[in-house]
Structure 1
Amino acid sequence: MSMHPFLIFPWQRPFLPDLVDTVERLSGGHPGNALIVVPHQRPWRYIVRLFAERGHHGLLPRTLPFSELVAQWRAGAGGRAKILANPLDQGALLHECVRGLARGDAALEARFARMDMARFLPWGLRLAALLEEMFTHGLEPADLAHLESEVAAPAAALLGALGRISRAWRAELEERGWTTPGLEQFLAAQGASEIPPLLLPAEDRPVFIAGFSVLSGTEDTLLRSLWRAGARVCLHTDPNLLEAVGPHWSCAEQSAWMRRWHARAEAAFPLSAEDARHRPHLEFFAGYDLHSQLEALATDLGHGDAASTAVVLTDSALLMPVLHHLPEKDVNVSMGYPLARSPLFRLVDALFRLAEGRAEDGRYHWRALLHVLRHPYLNMLQIRAEDGEALALRDGLRRLEALIRQGSRYVDLPACVADCRQQLPRPLADLLEQCLGTAIDALREVETTAGLGAWLGDIHEFLIAHGGDIWRRFPLDAEALFRLMRHVAPQLRQNALASEAFPPSLLYGIARQLLERERIPFEADPLVGVQVLGMLETRLLHFDRVFIVDATDDVLPGNPGQDPLLPDPLRAVLGLPDARRRERVAAYTLHRLCASARKAHFYWQEGVSHSALFDGKKLRSRFVEEFLWDVERRKNHLLAPGTPPLRAATCEVRQSPREPRLLCRTPRLDAAMAAFLRQPLSASRLDVYLRCPLRFVWETLCRLRPRQEVNEGDDPAAVGTCLHAALRALYAPWLGKKVCRGDITQASALACFHEAFDAADLRDLLPADARLMLEAAVPVRLREFLEHQPEETFIVALEQRIDAELSLAGRSYSFTGILDRLDRRDGLLHVLDYKTGSIRKHDFALWSDDAFFAEAATACALADSTGPCVSPDEGTLARLEAGFEALRERLPSMQLPAYIAMLESREGDAVGDAALVELRYRGEEHPLFDGLAGEELKAARSGCGVALALLLRHMEYAPRFAGRPDVHCRWCPYAPLCAS
């Protein structure tokens, strides 16, 4: 039979209807005699539907995907049946081959002779993938020498022996009765001249090769054999292939195909003038993120007619967000959803991460543990109690989470579980222990892939046993579980490395790779209406409306991944397709899809340039640039963003006036404040009110507690407690004695610090960087602290609790506090308060401002003159507010004034001054009165009582509690309440 010319089907028209017409015409009206060879199985469903719509009664043409063509070709060659080797089998076999060849190869011996399986397996899996790809392209691997400057040394050694490794590997596969899909294609291509009888073209049995655009090596060999025997090649492409005018650049591979086969082309049927003039109506939308694209997509889908519609996703990760935005929920999803994006994978990956981060003493990092405990699968499980009541596992998990949040960064899980059991019913406690034992404890004992497969099986059984009917309501998750048990777990249990012990990181990496290769299929029905599919699934298909989502350059055409074994520039040396060829394939797929559509919509995100270093927003695809340029060329002007057909996402941003957040005093808040003032008052609580009354209300009156969280960063409170303990121990031997500068050495101070550091367990509480910085800074800070001590002082008290009843402007209040250190200097008591944080300086001129204190005393007296349970008038409230604001600005802390007033209320030594000791910088003392003496000192001490009275009267009578925005808002736990 003579070789037929290639049949050119114009891509301005749908391909499959024209192909069906051609099959009917060339088969003499008996399409059941024809054989159609296609790249994949999906066209068969459309061909069946087309014949059904035409009312065909009889046999349908046989549609054979290329994989089945290879299988029949190999079956016709005879020979024994072989077992497909999975990737782990291939890696184990390659390890044997490489170690065998290393005996006679110095480069291989230097790199791989003593390399165990755990270190070799990553290289072995890459090598197996490379050999598989070369077999697919019909290439005999050859040794590539002198690549030491191009790739890493292990890769150069493997490539230098690539041909020998390939031959040894094939021999081992043959001896064991194993094979691979690529090797099957390679062997079929070697016997391409012997066409099986069922595939041989004949006059009464025409064969059509349809839908191929770019051929691999084995496809080229096998399909050429069929073509030479009389098969017809049907190309859906640019009709300019028939003319002197050059075809579209994306069809260059098809032109090269025809030249390579020395074939001529003819039109499958005449092209009408209307079809020749057809151009799709193009619309473009530039969004600022995925959500803006999906919002525009939903609007555009709702405005169209009921014509066939395709929502094309450039990345499978877009599937779930897109489905949530479709106005019509009854859609055909024909692309597989990656198992790696399912909740099941997140559960397994969270367990792996938990095990990888386990400390040497067996404790787990608290955040990784919470990721496991919060997983929705575990929180959906339940158990029946003896009385039939359903007990939800989530109740036990929440109790356990609360215990974990109260602990440290690394959790002793058995101890937490033991404490949690006491708070739970016995059936629920047993279920919790079984859950953690199956998911967490059992993984610690896994060392082999077989053990890992068994562990995954136990996870599956536990989820099924305690999930009840939930899996019927979540079919996607049920299918993920099925894939786990029927595809992934068997590969882990049944391979040549099943009993080989691996380190956990490699073992978990193997499992992750196998899980990432799995895809969850959808039922591809119905074939009309809105269809959601990937770019590859659009091959051979036609749609009136096409919506391409996230058309950015990193996925359309996409960037090649970094392969440490064979980088992209070296692929052409072996005859493998490089990034340029993959780009042409993607371009043909996109242009063919859009050429026959009535409307094509492109969506992408832009606005920030993408760089390799920082993950900025993406750039629109170069293919979209080509479509834009085509529209601009036809319109003869550049398209301005925001004007049709180049739309852009817009959002109106208005500056909202920043108003201070406040709460008006209510009867319940008034009662809570009154109850607070009747209790013993601490200076730290008063400082909270002085800094921000609104935070005081949230924290003290409303008793809102911040979310309990383990501190993973610096812990200033713990560091402050440690330094206070160290200084208390440092001065304890001098209690009741006089100490002079130089009596206390830096060595003794460091010894006290290290003792307090170990007692506080800061090595576990602080991150490594914070711990190292603290240990490096403390010796310097302690030396500076000792240098700034007075020449001599008498230590009166250390960490002494003090309680006092103070009469402030005619009112009696109870106060309490703890003095860090009380000294006697020049016959007067001096209060010292250690501060490890920053110190806000106060206005020293305040103590000599008689007018301020007189006004404060008057405002307090006026507020009290109204009588109990009666609110002061507006004028008095305004004077209180003005005095309070002035006090906040001039005296940022009431701690030292409160201590001075409390000491003065007791009989004993006269009170001198008080000072804050800034431990974080130089250890200097910052006195409250700054050297005042005599009557000035007495007046200043009296002013402390007036300042306290003003603050307390404001707390009692202020009609509203306003927030005071400041730098402290950055770490305030109630900042979200103010922003809401």
Structure 2
Amino acid sequence: MDPLPSHSIKVFSSSVELHRFILQKVGPESLVIVPHRRLARQLWHNQRLASLAQGRAAWEPLPLVTLPDWWAGLFQSLWPPYALAPRLVRLALWRRAIAAGPPLEGAAPDLEWARALDEAHELLLRYGLPLDNPGPGEPALVRWRREITRIYGELLREEGWLTPGQLPGYLAAALEKQDLPLPAQLVVVGLKDLAPLENRWLEAVARGLSVTRLLIRGNPDNLRQGVVLPDRDEEMAWVASQLLESHREGIPLHRLAVTSPVMDRYAPRLAKVLRELLGPAVGENGCAYNLSQGPTLVQTPLWKAALLPLTFMAQGERREDLMALLLSPYYQALKPHQGYLASWDRLFREKRVIQGWEHLKSTAAGSFTGIPALGALVAGLDELWSHAPLPTAAGKEWTAWLRETWKRLGFPGVLEEAEKIPFERTAALLADFTRALGEEVFPAAGALSWLNQAAQDDTLPGPGVQEAGVQVLGWLEMRGLDFERVFCLGMTSAALPGAPRPLPLLSRAEREQVLGGTQESQDRFAQEQFDTLLGTAAHLTLTRPAQEHQEPQVGTPLFLQAWEQRRLPLLSRPDGAWMRVPAVQAALSRPEGSLAPRELQGTISLALPAELLITQVGKALGCRCRFVLEDLLGLRSLAEIESGLDPRERGSKLHQVLARFVKTAGFNLPPEEEALALLRQAARDVLGPETADVHWQAEWRRWFGDEDTPGLLTAWLARERERLAQGWRWLDAEVAFEGLARPGWPFTLRGRLDRLDFHPEQGELIVWDYKTGTLPNGAQVFDRREEFQLPGYLWAVREGCVTVEAAAVKVLCAGFIGLKSTREDHLLHQDFAGNKDRWAEVLSAWEEDVRVLGELLTAGDVRPAPRPGPTRPDEGACRYCNLVLVCGISRKPRDEEAEI
């Protein structure tokens, strides 16, 4: 083996030449510094193949190590009096330094600030920039950073910690004393853009031994094509198909690579695309692909589940956090009861219980009466929450409570193979948190924030086995690796060269000295990395999307050739590779739209109740399918708890207030001041403790107004006074009835009238229905007959189900009292004065409609027949229905909600 030249730099045009040189020239007496561990593993693999080809039975692996790993080994060999500060320890010290330092005007520094300070500190150390000396004209933020950094440095020294950025300086001092074990020769591979601190270290080492630098500047001829596809999805689908095509040409999967300067944006979706086309990363037929980086720990379902008990306490005991815990598959003690527990979510939503364990527990109390096991479970949860170290506790107390909660609730149970690493990392992170912050005092939200911050920094390995299958790698991980074909995704100008690094805590002068701190520096770095990439394979293909988020994208300026336009619409014109995917095959084998739900057909056996509500019959006349599904089968959409008041609840309360007022007044309107006082008292009685709710307080102001704005109910009183002056009298309110029957009806009807008014002189009796939403017009009531409740109320009066002096009644009619707002067209008595002679016609038609409805329901005919039909998105019986995917009726969604 020829000796290496001393203190030299050698440039290669490809990774193949680099690998060959290392295998032939570097011996066991040398130490090779590589930019990342993947390159070390590829070199060891090549060394193994070369040794086997030469007939060797054994060989000594090349001494390959990354620069940080070498430094860590040298540091441990010194048996130092200091320890390297883990990330959590550093953040805790920054937190203390922030608390001890001066305030920052206009900001409240938190954990994110501590993280930013730590990154800035390490960067300044790497580039040898002064930490304490202020520069001329520095902004207040930088001056504040210097002061906090000074306090942080004192805390490090007092507690015997070193940061990673201080390690080279510590080792350099030991190097001068000749206390470090050094190799005979040092070979540095691919590290061209070293920071000043790293360069000074290598210069110091070079005074005592030979240092050779090996660099790569690839051949531009290796860049074969640049392809533009409409969006990222088609871009990834096209690249995946090219990978399969390359493999069919005889290229082993592990000799293919995919990379991107923004791989974090592509990796999650790319993993799904590869799974669709190539199957699982590791399967019965071997390894298809692997991703060098997977999600961070904080993104995994297991981590989120692990912290659910703490999340529940930290976020104000919210309903959604409790339900996530109760229904989690990881808590084995809860799994036998999850059928019952799932119903609690609907109960909480319907009762509008948002948070608070005591409120949640009392709301659900009736659901576990008579179920001892469920009652014991709730008692166990009650004990766990009562023993939570609230309001503040030391970090070790929070982790101890969390572990006890895991034990009591059976977390995590039997794990899948892919979940074992996240659980191991979770357990290790809790141990690190206890060591680093065990004595720090936090509220529950503080402990949760720190744990999530630590988990955010823990990146898990991606799916697959390293070096097996297609290699999906980050941009910097490609340095020095050797493949036959490489595909580069997302090659837009925004990605490469990209914008300068955001360094808000550095001054302008400091940013100018940091790699990537200015656009010029970023451009230079991008060009050097691109030149290195050109050496990784003899065949490189660049791809990019034509647009992202509906914004046109420009290709990277580093690609000087013409971009080729391509399309790959998978569901209309897929290429051969994608034809093997079942979803694509299914899409092509069926006509467009054939998978849409069809309308319900046929009949079912129904057990009709002997009595129905008028409102139920109204719903059935609007659509019997909806009535059957919602009222008879109980199929309803899950209620959502939204800010503000539910329109239906608001309407119901208003109905109750008016009924209480009319009855309390003895069906006679008192004088103005007395009437308003009586109306206010009725509202207080109906709302009760809900008057403390800010939303009901706002509704109160809407009802009663203020000095400048009249309220809805004060305006209503004025309208009622006008009606009474015309001779009308209140006859009754909230009048319940039952037993309404007509020939041919298979059921009787019951209901409740909002109000009855009578005009003694005219002999006219009118049935009123309060309406807080939009009022139906005359055409809807009399021509199209799309109002289904008023006729039922009139039938109840006509058939004697409601007690009135029938002899005095000459005219029977009905109408609406609009209570939507104080606008003239919203607050009115809609009595359909011009159509009073048509009510008999309406009643006769309604009677027949109910008879036909009864026959259809008795026969089990539940086909959807909305009335009126959904001719437009904003009308028809389908307007507020959420069962379109069940019944099959086609309509456009609408977000509005109806009011009573």
1:560 and 1:371 map into 2 onto residues whose CA distance is 41
- CA radius of gyration, larger in: 1
Partner of 2:245 in structure 1? 303
- Residue 134 in 1 paired to residue 73 in 2? no
- Residue 509 in 1 paired to residue 449 in 2? yes
Distance 1:19 1:49, change over 3 A: same
Q: Deviations over 1:332-367 (max 9, x none)?
A: 443354112211232256555533431xxxxx3323
Q: Contact 1:726–1:756 at 8 Å: present in 2 too?
A: yes
2:728 and 2:615 map into 1 onto residues whose CA distance is 27
Moved more, 40-49 or 828-837: 40-49
Q: Contact 2:704–2:711 at 8 Å: present in 1 too?
A: no
Partner of 2:517 in structure 1? 578
Partner of 1:449 in structure 2? 395
Moved more, 503-512 or 520-529: 520-529
1:373 and 1:440 map into 2 onto residues whose CA distance is 17
1:555 and 1:355 map into 2 onto residues whose CA distance is 41
Quick one: which amino acid aligns to residue 136 of structure 1?
R
2:843 and 2:79 map into 1 onto residues whose CA distance is 104
1:35 and 1:642 map into 2 onto residues whose CA distance is 49
Distance 1:776 1:491, change over 3 A: farther
Distance 1:752 1:413, change over 3 A: closer
Q: Contact 1:91–1:128 at 8 Å: present in 2 too?
A: yes
1:703 and 1:772 map into 2 onto residues whose CA distance is 37
SS state at 1:377 partner = coil
- Residue 344 in 1 paired to residue 306 in 2? no
Quick one: which amino acid aligns to residue 354 of structure 2?
Y
Quick one: which amino acid aligns to residue 684 of structure 1?
T
SS state at 1:802 partner = strand
Q: Contact 1:287–1:605 at 8 Å: present in 2 too?
A: yes
Partner of 1:971 in structure 2? 880
Q: How is 1:77-476 mapped onto 2 (pairs within 5 angstroms)?
A: 80-90=80-90, 93=93, 108=102, 123-144=113-134, 150=139, 153=140, 155-159=141-145, 161=147, 165-166=149-150, 169-170=152-153, 172-189=155-172, 198-199=181-182, 205-227=184-206, 229=208, 231-238=210-217, 278-282=221-225, 284=227, 286-290=229-233, 292-305=234-247, 306-307=251-252, 308-312=255-259, 314-316=262-264, 319=267, 321-324=269-272, 325-326=274-275, 327=278, 329=281, 330=287, 331-335=289-293, 337-348=295-306, 350-351=308-309, 353-358=311-316, 364-378=317-331, 381-382=332-333, 392=336, 394-395=338-339, 397-398=341-342, 400-401=344-345, 403-411=347-355, 412-415=359-362, 419=366, 421-422=368-369, 424=371, 426=373, 430=376, 434=380, 438=384, 442=388, 444=390, 446-458=392-404, 461=407, 467-468=412-413, 470-471=414-415, 474-476=416-418
1:467 and 1:349 map into 2 onto residues whose CA distance is 12
Quick one: which amino acid aligns to residue 511 of structure 2?
A
Q: Contact 2:479–2:536 at 8 Å: present in 1 too?
A: no
1:491 and 1:135 map into 2 onto residues whose CA distance is 25
Q: How is 1:638-649 mapped onto 2 (pairs within 5 angstroms)?
A: 639-642=564-567
- The count of corresponding residues between Structure 1 and Structure 2 is 818
1:818 CA displacement: 1.3
Identity %: 20
Q: Deviations over 1:455-474 (max 9, x none)?
A: 343355457x5544x22xx2
Q: Contact 1:690–1:893 at 8 Å: present in 2 too?
A: no
Partner of 1:951 in structure 2? 849
1:700 CA displacement: 4.5
Distance 1:286 1:575, change over 3 A: closer
SS state at 1:816 partner = strand
1:214 CA displacement: 0.8
Instruction: Extract unaligned runs of 5+ from structure 2.
Output: 282-286, 576-583, 801-805, 891-900
Q: Normalised by the size of structure 2, how large is the TM-score?
A: 0.79
- Work out which of the residue numbers 468, 483, 489 in structure 1 matches 2:430: 489
Distance 1:499 1:657, change over 3 A: closer
1:793 CA displacement: 2.9
Q: Contact 1:143–1:161 at 8 Å: present in 2 too?
A: no
Partner of 1:838 in structure 2? 774
Q: How is 1:877-892 mapped onto 2 (pairs within 5 angstroms)?
A: 887=783, 889=784, 891-892=785-786
2:768 and 2:630 map into 1 onto residues whose CA distance is 28
Q: Deviations over 1:922-946 (max 9, x none)?
A: 46444444056xxxx5x53422332
Q: Deviations over 1:248-297 (max 9, x none)?
A: xxxxxxxxxxxxxxxxxxxxxxxxxxxx684233353535454x444434
1:136 CA displacement: 2.4
Q: Contact 1:286–1:648 at 8 Å: present in 2 too?
A: no
1:96 and 1:944 map into 2 onto residues whose CA distance is 79
Partner of 2:728 in structure 1? 793
Q: Contact 1:332–1:524 at 8 Å: present in 2 too?
A: yes
Q: How is 1:443-842 mapped onto 2 (pairs within 5 angstroms)?
A: 444=390, 446-458=392-404, 461=407, 467-468=412-413, 470-471=414-415, 474-486=416-428, 488-495=429-436, 498-521=438-461, 525=465, 527-549=467-489, 565-566=505-506, 569=508, 571-572=510-511, 575=514, 577-578=516-517, 580=519, 581-582=521-522, 584-602=524-542, 604-608=544-548, 616=549, 622-623=555-556, 626-627=558-559, 630-632=560-562, 639-642=564-567, 663-664=600-601, 666=603, 668=604, 675=608, 679-680=610-611, 682-700=613-631, 704-707=635-638, 710=641, 714-735=645-666, 737-739=667-669, 742=672, 745-758=675-688, 761=690, 780-789=711-720, 790=723, 791=725, 792-803=727-738, 805=740, 807=742, 814-825=748-759, 826=761, 827-842=763-778
1:84 CA displacement: 2.1
Moved more, 947-956 or 347-356: 347-356
Q: Normalised by the size of structure 1, how large is the TM-score?
A: 0.73
2:239 and 2:839 map into 1 onto residues whose CA distance is 72
Partner of 1:872 in structure 2? none
SS state at 1:782 partner = helix
CA RMSD of aligned residues (A): 4.4
**Bigger share in helix:** 1
1:192 CA displacement: 6.0
Quick one: which amino acid aligns to residue 217 of structure 1?
P
- Residue 19 in 1 paired to residue 21 in 2? yes
1:526 CA displacement: 5.3
Moved more, 299-308 or 764-773: 764-773
Quick one: which amino acid aligns to residue 10 of structure 2?
L
Quick one: which amino acid aligns to residue 450 of structure 1?
K
Distance 1:68 1:921, change over 3 A: closer
1:50 CA displacement: 1.7
1:53 and 1:658 map into 2 onto residues whose CA distance is 53
2:492 and 2:703 map into 1 onto residues whose CA distance is 47
Distance 1:905 1:739, change over 3 A: same
Q: Contact 1:796–1:823 at 8 Å: present in 2 too?
A: yes
Higher RCO, 1 vs 2 (CA within 8 Å, ≥6 residues apart): 2
1:46 and 1:2 map into 2 onto residues whose CA distance is 24
Partner of 1:264 in structure 2? none
Moved more, 369-378 or 412-421: 412-421
Partner of 2:796 in structure 1? 902
Q: Contact 1:366–1:408 at 8 Å: present in 2 too?
A: no
Distance 1:95 1:309, change over 3 A: closer
Partner of 1:917 in structure 2? 817
